[in-house]
Amino acid sequence: MKTLQTIGGNSSFADIVAASKQDHAAATRALVILQEKRLVRISETEILHVHLTKEGLEYAKLGLPERRLTTAILELGGEATLEQAAKRANIPAHLVPITLGWVKTAHWCEVSTHLQKVVLTAKAIPEKTDVERTLEFLATRPETSVEDVPQELRKNIETLRRRRLAVSKKHSKRYVELTSQGWQVLKEGINVPTEVSELTPELITTHQWQKVTFRRYNLEAPVTPSWPGKKQPYRQFLDELKTRLVTLGFEEMTGPTVEMMFFNCDALFMPQDHPAREIHDLYFIETDRSGQLGEYEKFIEAVSQTHENGWKTGSTGWGYKYSRSEALKMILRSQGTALSARKLVSKNLRVPGKYFSVVRCFRPDQVDRTHLTEFNQVEGIVVGPNLTLRDLLGVLQRFAIDLAGADRVRFKPDYFPFTEPSVELQAYKEGYGWLEFGGSGIFRPELTLPLGITVPVLAWGIGVDRLFMMRTGIDDIRMLFSQDLDWIRKQKVV
């Protein structure tokens, strides 16, 4: 109280602690008591600080990769393959697909495909963008308040955060102000009694405990929060999801993260010239080695003929010359359905049987609040004789209610390359609205027959990332893998 009086009756908490020469805990306790007595008023302001990441500092020095890539294409005559331009610009292989996405977004290059190679034709590029100017500004400051960033550059901070070139963090600053009652008490004069907060052996042996005044113990005073160890919230949700699927009678499927094109695409009746198999939609493994089918070698001939002419499926196929070397190329798994294909050729497959997988998948994409380059997919199959579309709709409805806590569900026709008919499930949750929950269908004969399956196979997939977002009420998909300890600590343990 006296310190506040000497510094004008209004000050930040940090300045009060310094001026009163009290420790942080003692000053906090005192302010709680004064606030209860309405002698002071405490307010809190959040200040957003921002600083560049290691990658951001590197780009501030060398330039953004999209500018370096476009500059390299201009130096190569205005047109070059993505591989040539990336090599000249010295862009690491793992950043090439992401850089391509930013070049396309900036409209600095025209993108085309020739002989299965991505070809870029460069346009003129501006001198310096606002994003680059913001990057340069932040590079000169280890950490700064957003308010200190020039007004015309502030809007670019979110872009830098999405690209993980900058990190922002909120800092709370408390202010304390004397109330009119507080000023009145000071005017009347304050007698500061000596109070004891701890009973020591010395007080007991000297009988001084009978003469001192003990500080009252406030049961309602705030204490330092304690955070017990617990699982990361999204990891906990996925484990819970697995448990629920097992209780519904499903058996888990597992498979490799590094997959062959054969299981990721070919066995699913996806033609080898499909656009989704280009470098901007798949992560290719940088190796000269090809995958080995081993015990599954016997299936490639039937899959090959199905692609070329339809084989015995009743289809006309895709009508092209199937490439075995293309089928054995190594990629990062781009879809969980690859595990379903592997399960159908497994010697451990049981008919009838129900199977599911919860796996991480990878696709080059521009990271923002709705997209990541890696994500989880929950997929499953039900194999058995006499299965129909009605059975599939029943399974989907049960998932929506049991797994998502949906209030209502609805179905609409859809298209997927490897199912016919195909159905999209939409779920409604009060306060969140309608959400696309998952896709499903019955595997086509062009998929099942070459793999030796002669009974119907119901297939379904759940957008598990968005399912978790719906359950927790978050609207930024990056929070699923957040390292924000404050957010993680506040998530409830189920």
**Does 403 lie in the same domain as 303?**
yes
pLDDT, tens digit (0-9, with 9 covering 90-100), for 320-372: 999 999 999 999 999 999 999 999 999 999 999 999 999 999 988 878 777 78
What is the Cβ-side half-sphere exposure of residue 108, based on CA atoms within 13 angstroms? 23
**Does 382 lie in the same domain as 335?**
yes
In this prediction, residue 494 carries a pLDDT of 60
Decide if 199 is inside a domain.
yes
pLDDT, tens digit (0-9, with 9 covering 90-100), for 399-421: 778 776 778 889 999 988 889 99
pLDDT at 251 over 90: yes
User: What pTM, to 2 d.p., does this model score?
Assistant: 0.59
Decide if 182 is inside a domain.
yes
CB 468 within 8 Å of CB 237: yes
**Does 77 lie in the same domain as 46?**
no
**Does 182 lie in the same domain as 118?**
no
**Does 157 lie in the same domain as 177?**
no
Decide if 221 is inside a domain.
no
Decide if 134 is inside a domain.
yes
Decide if 421 is inside a domain.
yes
For residue 274, what pLDDT band results from cuts at 50, 70 and 90?
Answer: confident
Torsion of CA 261, 266, 272, 275, to 10 degrees: -80
CB 79 within 8 Å of CB 122: yes
| 437 CB neighbour count, 10 Å cutoff | 27
**Does 73 lie in the same domain as 194?**
no
CA proximity to 133, closest of 158, 156, 163 = 156
- The fraction of the chain above a pLDDT of 70, given in percent, is 98
273 three-state secondary structure: coil
| 200 CB neighbour count, 10 Å cutoff | 11
Instruction: Kindly report the CATH number assigned to the domain that includes residue 35.
Output: 1.10.10.10
Q: For residue 185, with 0-12 CB atoms within 10 Å meaning exposed, 13-18 middle and 19 or more buried, which class applies? A: middle
User: Residue 16's domain spans which residues?
Assistant: 2-50+171-214
**Does 30 lie in the same domain as 76?**
no
